[in-house]
Structure 1
């Protein structure tokens, strides 16, 4: 292919080989170039280089097929969740599939970003949110603000899948397919802006129901009633019993005549005993009165007569 100089127009037609846009760019570059003749040695070297590039592409395809087959045989659930390339990198970084299964989900999330993690801990900055999982399809297709959440959820599911693949007796792909569908639905929820509140109050739900006009009729459940008497009820009952007036007690006694007579006789006997005890002086008091001189007694009598 001979290229003309700056003054001569390009006479070569590339429409059969290249599309129109690239053809125009090639013609513009040919007009601006000086143009030289290509020697036979240069053509041989160019051909050898093209053959090497083709061989490398074929070898890359063979390696990708081999890696895919091996990952499907060793860790099928991890392959479904993360992909064969990212899964192979995680296994290689951990050392083996069993070592990867021993790691918690927080460690799997940061695998490949150890330098950034220790740098952030030393400088007291924010720690990285993802390592090798950044190249996974589920994380890469999410927006920038949701990549951290998606990497955390994917790491949790990948940890379960690793343990299932490494220690499970049967190698089935049901777990990986189910978890991938859950993560995909979660991505759609995050991207749409509708998030599910796991904890907190139900004020937001009430607001939506107010504007949408949704009203549910709630009935009282009798099963929620407790038959046990609480301590506050008992205390209240005791206070009421203490504060009952005496009239009620008298009326109750009149209603039961047999018991009231017996109780009245007992009360009279008790009162008689109390009066006798108050009238009869004790032994030390009698001795003191005997020791007193009679003059004082006469004076007291005079005073009383006066």
Structure 2
């Protein structure tokens, strides 16, 4: 479009009045050149280039024609960055100001009157389709890949676990003053709360039927313990408050189960290969810790391995001690299956394969979990080999190379020669023994003579 009267553009605040009707708009601007897009894909490519401040090929061709005809004219642009690119590549003078912004707004309001031959209904449909495509491109939006939902869901799941644990412990402690024996008989927390909500006072256990909650053996033990309980008596108001707390516990437990199913389905839709490798909970925590699936895909395998153990890592680096071998990935089932001495090796290999699956989920177009299953099988095979102390099957030429000959002892058996035991003659030993005995006898005789003289 070419501006016909530039004087009226000087008053920016009242410029909108010149575009109230198509007749007024035709007095201000005139259609200079119009290029129609072939399809929506071409229109989307041109629009995304404008959004990113780039010069598309079609726009470059059109501007070259304009430069050849009207090189002295200025080009009004809505994006200053795009104007700089056009000036550098085509040496065309561009202008960007509040006046240009107001002029663009007026042109868009009367675009149907300025460009003839465009049905309004068809144009509205094309604009709507292009707007949806452009918005999806801007937001990188995919209905099946919204990792923000996973971040919020796993955070809420952790909060629910903490609150649920606090509520259950408070309920056991509160009702334990009235019926302390029940806590030892019923170990399951949800069953405990359902039983308390249904019966209330312990004296009602004898006449209540809790067979739909408890097995027959445990039900008999509970009724027997209720008759001889050492708990204190409480008022009906206290029992009502305890029952309300049990209602809260049951509702939160049901919602937690529903939230876990939602998280599991969402993880299989967004990151199926990651879910197969480490499970939905560990995978969701990795995504939440990194911020998004794309951010997690940018991390190397060494970072994925210790993700979640940053405090221990920096403390080890500061004190010059051994760095941690695993972070959030420690809670994966494959790491939990192995022994303590092999956990470091398995976590390192699992982190390497997990990094591959994360990148495949984040950047790949395929939504199948085949890659994750194959990598998990490799890790399980490696785990089995480590547990079996490296025993592997050898086939083909490997068997021939590994074959060893039968062991044969070639040493000769020597005959025992008793003559080589000693080199001293036997007679000399006897002489020495006789001399010692004679000396001892001489000493004894002298001692007797000395005693006789003393007397």
Q: Give the TM bin, normalised by the shorter chain.
A: 0.5 to 0.7
Say which is worse superposed, 108-117 or 163-172, in terms of deviation. Answer: 163-172
User: Residue 41 of structure 1 aligns with which residue?
Assistant: 237
Q: Take 1:180 and 1:97, find their aligned partners in 2: how far apart are those partners?
A: 20
Q: Take 2:297 and 2:406, find their aligned partners in 1: how far apart are those partners?
A: 47
The answer to whether the 8 Å contact 2:206/2:223 transfers is no
Q: Deviations over 1:6-49 (max 9, x none)?
A: xxxx9969996456579669967985x64333321122112111
The answer to whether the 8 Å contact 1:15/1:23 transfers is no
User: Residue 210 of structure 1 aligns with which residue?
Assistant: 404
Q: Take 2:373 and 2:402, find their aligned partners in 1: how far apart are those partners?
A: 34
Q: Are 1:67 and 2:67 matched, yes or no? A: no
Match of 1:192 among 367, 388, 408: 388
Q: Take 1:30 and 1:157, find their aligned partners in 2: how far apart are those partners?
A: 59
Q: Are 1:130 and 2:335 matched, yes or no? A: no
DSSP-derived class of the 1:126 partner: coil
The answer to whether the 8 Å contact 2:305/2:326 transfers is yes
User: Residue 367 of structure 2 aligns with which residue?
Assistant: 171
Gap change, CA 1:192 and 1:105, over 3 Å in 2: same
TM-score when normalising by structure 1? 0.57
User: Residue 430 of structure 2 aligns with which residue?
Assistant: none
Alignment of 1:71-90 (within 5 A): 71-90=267-286
Q: Take 2:255 and 2:406, find their aligned partners in 1: how far apart are those partners?
A: 60
DSSP-derived class of the 2:373 partner: helix
Q: Take 1:151 and 1:86, find their aligned partners in 2: how far apart are those partners?
A: 13
The answer to whether the 8 Å contact 1:161/1:176 transfers is yes
TM-score when normalising by structure 2? 0.39
Q: Give the Å deviation of 1:209.
A: 3.0
Structure 2: 5+ residue runs without aligned partners? Answer: 1-177, 180-202, 393-398, 408-455
The answer to whether the 8 Å contact 1:112/1:132 transfers is yes
Match of 2:306 among 99, 104, 110: 110
Q: Give the Å deviation of 1:66.
A: 1.2
The answer to whether the 8 Å contact 1:98/1:166 transfers is yes
Q: Take 2:223 and 2:319, find their aligned partners in 1: how far apart are those partners?
A: 51
Q: Are 1:144 and 2:346 matched, yes or no? A: no
Gap change, CA 1:140 and 1:38, over 3 Å in 2: same
User: Residue 156 of structure 1 aligns with which residue?
Assistant: 352
Q: Give the Å deviation of 1:143.
A: 1.2
The answer to whether the 8 Å contact 2:316/2:323 transfers is yes
User: Residue 269 of structure 1 aligns with which residue?
Assistant: none
Structure 1: 5+ residue runs without aligned partners? Answer: 4-9, 197-204, 214-306
Q: Take 1:103 and 1:185, find their aligned partners in 2: how far apart are those partners?
A: 26
Match of 1:101 among 290, 297, 301: 297
Question: How many positions carry a matched residue from both structures?
Answer: 198
Gap change, CA 1:118 and 1:206, over 3 Å in 2: farther
Q: Take 1:30 and 1:56, find their aligned partners in 2: how far apart are those partners?
A: 32
The answer to whether the 8 Å contact 2:210/2:219 transfers is no
Q: Deviations over 1:217-276 (max 9, x none)?
A: xxxxxxxxxxxxxxxxxxxxxxxxxxxxxxxxxxxxxxxxxxxxxxxxxxxxxxxxxxxx
Alignment of 1:243-282 (within 5 A): none
Gap change, CA 1:26 and 1:211, over 3 Å in 2: farther
Q: Report the structure number with the largest CA radius of gyration.
A: 1
Q: RMSD value over aligned CA atoms?
A: 3.4
Say which is worse superposed, 14-23 or 128-137, in terms of deviation. Answer: 14-23
DSSP-derived class of the 1:210 partner: coil
The answer to whether the 8 Å contact 1:78/1:162 transfers is yes
Gap change, CA 1:43 and 1:174, over 3 Å in 2: same
The answer to whether the 8 Å contact 2:277/2:375 transfers is yes
Q: Take 1:42 and 1:81, find their aligned partners in 2: how far apart are those partners?
A: 49
